[in-house]
Structure formats: C-alpha cells, structure tokens
C-alpha cells in the first residue's frame, strides 16, 4: 500500500475454504514500550548499550524511540542472524538539565509512562501527542504525583495532555493512585519505583503503591512486574492488586531483552480461525505468556475453539462460533471489539461486560462498535460499560474506523467470511501492526483498494437535490440555519427532534432517554427519517446522532445534499452547558469523547462542510446557498426574491 493510497478504503474477499497455515505476528507493543523505557533506566558503563530484540516496528514503537531520542538517549536499529534489534545508548538520569518536548504521537502508554519518568530525571519535560492522544485522560496519575510534591502543569484542558513536569526528584515511600480508569498509571509508578528516593525515616523500606479500589486490566500489571524482573528489579502485588511493593536498593541491570510476539495482534488470527473453521498456528507465542490478551484465547475456547501447544507454538483449531451469555473483559478490553464481531455471527445473545475503559480509548469504542455492527444489520444494545450483541446474519458494509487501529483489525475478521466488506482508512493499523493487511493476504483473504470517487462523480450528488440535510453536533445551529434556509429558498424546514417528540408523546428528549431508553429514541429516529425519505423540497435539521444511525441516514439522504455544520467543542460547551434537555451532556468526559468520535462520522457522510465558528445563522445560510449554487442552480427557485441571481 503506497503513501498516496494508504487512506483509501480496502475491500475484503473471504477465504474460499478453511485454511491450515501459520502466522508470525510482530513483537508486543506493550512489552516494546516498557522494554525501551527500562533499557534507558539501566545503570551501566558509558557507551555500553542495552540491546532489545524483536522491537515492534510501528507508529507506537516509533513514538517511544522518538521521545527517548528527544531526551538525548541514542537508539540504533540493527540485525543479527535475521533478527532485528534496537541498541539503547545512554541513561535518562544522566541527561542534561534543560527543557524537553516529548511528542508521543498517539501512544498513550508512551506518554503516561514518560510522565512518571519525568518526575525522577533532570530537566523540564513537556509531554503531548496528536489530537486523539490529547483526549486520553492523565488526571489520576498527575494527582498521584502531585500528592508527592511533583510540580506538574496542565497546558490545556484540566486532566488531559499536554502537561509540563517541572520536577526532577521524587522522595517517597508510600504512593496512592487510582487504577479504575487505566492500569497504565500503576505500571508507570511501578517502573520508576527503583528511582524514587526513600524518605529519611523510611530508609531501607520498600516503595509501596496503594490503590483505593481494584484496578482494571490486571494482566497488564503482571506484564509490568514480569519485565521489571527480567531487567533485574523484583516487585510484588498483594491484596488483590490493591497493594504493590518494590524493595529498596534495587537497580535495573539487564543488558539484553527479547520482546515476545504480540498477543493482541495474534488474537485477530485466532478469531479468523474460530470464525472460518480454520487451523492457524501462532508462531513463537507461549501459552504461558502473561500478556493481557492471552485471556482472549481462553474466551475462544468457550466458543468451541481447540487450542494446543505444538513445538512451542500455539495451534488454534476453529469450529465456528457460539454465543456466550456473559463475558467479563475487564482484564483484556482491547479484544472486546473483535469478540463483538464474532458474537455478531453467533446464533444467540452475547453480553460483553467490563468495558468501562473503552469509553476513553482512541475513540469511544463502545459507541463505535454499536454503530458499525448496526450497519451490518446486527442488533446491538450499548450500556455504559457493556455491549449486548444479538447474533444473526451480518451483511457486508463499509466500516468506519474512527482513527482506531483496533476497529480496523477487529472488523477485518468479518471479511474472512463476508464478501465485499470494506474498511475505511486502513492505514490506522500502522499504530501497532503495519504488516496486518499483507499478513491477511498471505492467509488467503483478498485485500484490494477501493478507488476513490472522482470530483465530478461527487459533484453529481449535489445536483438538483430533493432536499438538504443539515448534520452536526448538538449546538451547531442546525435548527436555526434550517429555518433561515427554508425562508430564503421557499422550502419547508423540518426539525427531526421536534418530530420525534411529537411521535413519542413525551415532553422532552431527556424524558425519552430516561423513560424509554436511547435504543427507543434511535428507533423513533429511524421512523421519522423513513417518513421524510420520499419527501422533497425540504430543509431537514437532524439530531446530532443521526449520521451514526445507518438505517436513519439511508432513509433520509436518498437524493439529498448533506451539509455538515462544523463547530468546536468549546463552542458547544459554551452554548449548551446549562441546557437541561441534553442527556448526552450529563457526563462531560463522555460527551467530549462522543463529540470527537462523531467528527469522523460527519466527515464521511457530508457532501459539503461549512465552518460555523464566529458566524451568525444567516451568514451560515448564505454560505450554504453560495456554495451549492455552484453545482445546483435549482437549489433556490430562479425567481425567489431572497436568492438573487
């Protein structure tokens, strides 16, 4: 896939028959990031490198290398006997006392781990990433470090990157941190524990990390303790992962480390074996691995999959899928998406629980899975921390990836049996698995690029539209702009939420959500959209969630021009924070995540985008008229006095 075509959708063709083959997946992302950080913490003679084998070549792997290089820690790639490695030169405790900017791209683990490291090394570090990463929370880790006296400033929104760490020395024996949002906060503190100076009265005592509640993703903490031991530092967990101890006087000493194959990447091929009845051998992946996503292999066994160890490799024999009444994925949430895809093919209902952390990943993964499975004709019920999948006969569809590598890989599994399934923005897999599409081809799936629509073809969609459909997040001004457009162009304005209220018999949208539930609201949305589907000469103001409701959009937009009214989150919040009839704004963090998730949805379905920042509704209406007149002379009647030629 070339750079010029990397963002074109890919179309998948299924396996013609079950296969019997093997797959070698790349190194573990989680181990790679931890190993490179610990390599930079090893005390050793100047000029002697720490060699890390089987480092994952990916966007996330490059992010940690770039950050180490920014600190003056030199890294060099090499190869020996066909095996790649990275040599890490230098030690972070000996870097210059100056200002550093550490850009972590989209790697949350890199940013969070280095946030803790920055508290015990010289200099002043500014840590940030691309927009998606800057929406990933760091509050619990920052509060834990601040409680110990570390000076940390938020440079943007409170609780989120970018942040600036102004300290270089940490003295403590007791630390407290919440692990209810992410286990990475605990891992970050564990890894720096040997570098924390003991309090004078606690000299020789272990560093103790306490948690007020049980953490999510416990296997990732086992992984951290495992790699710390491999580098020469012992640590233990106690009290059900609510207390960790790292004895005093230890230093990191290992000069070589081999990264395991990635269990997360292997899971997609194990899922394909399960779904297609194939036999796939996962090379060099030990069944005894403590990687969190090894738990997914156990879940597949519950679906009827057979797992054996043959010559040190994992052999996965699939026999189809069956529903699982309840599955708790708190310890391996990264595989919830692919399990949801498998459950869509199972004859029955599967409930997937323990997904609270998915709301604050690259996207709101719960909402994203719900939306894309619904496109495939599958009934899904989304809860705050759970998904209920009503299995059936999924149909091929074009899958949005929301900038999330795991959405692309999880739904690609369905392409092993569904002809014509398409995945948008396939390059997102570069975050953790750049060779994913090539490995699917080697397995036997067809993977081909979907030609992009030409500008002339796309312009035809805007010629003589039956109706204009305004989309955008709540607070974008859709209803006001619709009324003005209708007046100026002698058309009828329709507010979908008003129609839904009239149909529901309720007094407000909040009452519908609270009394009947969001699923009922979305069903009413479809009903209203279908009623408007054949109508013409309309200006329709949609609710903010309509573009994520495939059935409603399909009915509503036939022959229509879709106009996205773009608005910033700050403007939305300023306009609506006191609006009591906005149920999706009750939780600020989830509302902001939903806003960012929907931006990609709006972009995918819109024919025209209009920026509304700093503009009045009449000005926005004028801009829509001017832009659409270029390709659709009949937008306004020729003699309409409010639309001069």
Where in the sequence numbering do the catalytic residues fall?
334
Q: How many other C-beta atoms lie within 10 A of the C-beta of residue 505?
A: 9
The Cα–Cα gap between 114 and 109 comes to: 8
The Cα–Cα gap between 548 and 537 comes to: 24
DSSP state of 453: P
Edge-first strand order for the sheet with 446-449 is 398-399, 421-423, 10-13, 446-449
Task: Check if the beta carbon of residue 470 is closer than 8 Å to that of residue 517.
Answer: no
What b/e readout covers 128-153, taking b as 16+ CB neighbours within 10 angstroms? Answer: bbeebbbbbbbebbbebbeebebebe
Per DSSP, the three-state class of 220 is: helix
Question: Phi and psi (nearest 5°) for 221?
Answer: -75, -35
DSSP state of 199: P
The CA-based angle 474-475-481, given to 5 degrees, is: 105
Q: Indicate the angle between helix axes 405-412 and 263-276, nearest 10 degrees.
A: 20
Whether residue 162 is preceded by a cis peptide bond, meaning omega within 30 degrees of 0, is: yes
CA distances from 396 to 7, 202, 335, 393, 552 (A): 20, 62, 21, 10, 18
The Cα–Cα gap between 179 and 176 comes to: 10
CA 41 to chain centroid? 29
Task: Give the torsion sign (CA, 68, 74, 77, 80).
Answer: negative
Per DSSP, the three-state class of 543 is: coil
* Residue whose structure tokens are 């989304």: 382
Task: Check if the beta carbon of residue 99 is closer than 8 Å to that of residue 73.
Answer: no
Write the burial class of residue 363 (CB in 10 Å: 0-12 exposed, 13-18 middle, 19+ buried).
buried
Task: Check if the beta carbon of residue 66 is closer than 8 Å to that of residue 49.
Answer: no
CA 529 to chain centroid? 30
């Amino acid at each position: 896939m070339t750079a010029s075509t990397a963002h074109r959708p890919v179309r998948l063709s299924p396996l013609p028959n079950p296969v019997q083959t093997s797959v070698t997946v790349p190194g573990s992302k989680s181990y790679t990031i931890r190993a490179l950080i610990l390599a930079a913490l090893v005390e050793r003679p100047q000029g002697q490198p720490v060699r890390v084998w089987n480092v994952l070549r990916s966007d996330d792997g490059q992010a940690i290398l770039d950050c180490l290089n920014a600190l003056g820690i030199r890294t060099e790639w090499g190869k020996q006997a066909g095996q790649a490695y990275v040599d890490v030169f230098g030690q972070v405790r000996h870097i210059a006392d100056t200002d550093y900017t550490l850009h972590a791209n989209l790697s949350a683990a890199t940013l969070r781990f280095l946030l803790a490291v920055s508290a015990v090394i010289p200099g002043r570090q500014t840590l940030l990433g691309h927009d998606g990463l800057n929406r990933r929370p760091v509050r619990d880790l920052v509060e834990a470090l601040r409680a110990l006296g570390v000076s940390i400033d938020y440079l943007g929104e409170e609780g989120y990157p970018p942040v600036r760490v102004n300290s270089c020395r940490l003295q403590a024996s007791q630390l407290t941190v919440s692990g209810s949002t992410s286990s990475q906060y605990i891992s970050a503190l564990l890894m720096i524990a040997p570098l924390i100076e003991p309090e004078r009265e606690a000299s020789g005592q272990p560093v103790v990390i306490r948690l007020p509640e049980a953490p999510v993703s416990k296997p990732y903490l086992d992984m951290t303790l495992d790699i710390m031991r491999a580098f020469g530092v012992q640590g233990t967990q106690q009290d059900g992962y609510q207390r960790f101890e790292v004895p005093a006087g230890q230093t990191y000493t290992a000069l070589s480390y081999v990264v395991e194959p990635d269990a997360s990447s292997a899971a997609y091929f194990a899922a394909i074996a399960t779904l297609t009845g194939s036999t796939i051998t996962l090379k060099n992946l030990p069944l005894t691995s403590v990687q969190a996503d090894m738990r997914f292999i156990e879940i597949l066994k519950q679906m009827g999959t057979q797992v054996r160890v043959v010559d040190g490799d994992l052999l996965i024999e699939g026999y189809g899928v069956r529903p699982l009444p309840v599955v708790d994925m708190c310890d391996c949430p990264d595989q919830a998406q692919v399990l949801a895809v498998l459950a869509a093919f199972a004859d029955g209902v599967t409930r997937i629980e323990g997904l609270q952390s998915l709301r604050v990943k690259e996207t709101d993964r719960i909402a994203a899975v719900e939306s894309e499975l619904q496109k495939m004709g599958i009934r899904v019920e989304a809860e705050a921390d759970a998904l209920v999948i009503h299995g059936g006969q999924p149909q091929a569809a074009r899958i949005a990836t929301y900038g999330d590598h795991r959405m692309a890989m999880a739904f690609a599994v369905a392409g092993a049996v569904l002809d014509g399934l398409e995945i948008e923005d396939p390059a997102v897999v570069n975050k953790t698995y750049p060779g994913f599409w090539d490995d699917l081809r080697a397995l036997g799936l067809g993977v081909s690029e979907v030609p992009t629509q030409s500008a002339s073809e796309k312009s035809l969609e805007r010629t003589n539209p039956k109706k204009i459909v305004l989309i955008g997040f709540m607070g974008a001004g859709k209803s006001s702009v619709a009324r003005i457009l209708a007046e100026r162009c002698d058309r009828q304005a329709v507010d979908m939420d008003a129609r839904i209220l009239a149909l529901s018999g309720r007094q407000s949208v909040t009452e519908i959500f609270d009394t009947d539930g969001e699923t009922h609201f979305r069903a009413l949305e479809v009903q209203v959209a279908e009623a408007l589907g054949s109508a013409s000469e309309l200006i329709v103001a949609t609710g903010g969630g309509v573009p994520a409701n495939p059935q409603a959009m399909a009915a509503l937009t036939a022959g229509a021009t879709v106009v996205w009214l773009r608005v910033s989150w700050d403007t939305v919040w300023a306009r609506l924070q006191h609006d009591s009839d906005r149920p999706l704004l009750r939780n600020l963090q989830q509302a902001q995540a939903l806003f960012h998730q929907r931006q990609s949805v709006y972009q995918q379905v819109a024919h025209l985008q209009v920026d509304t920042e700093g503009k009045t509704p009449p000005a926005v209406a004028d801009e829509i008229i001017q832009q659409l007149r270029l390709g659709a002379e009949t937008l306004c009647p020729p003699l309409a006095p409010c639309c001069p030629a």
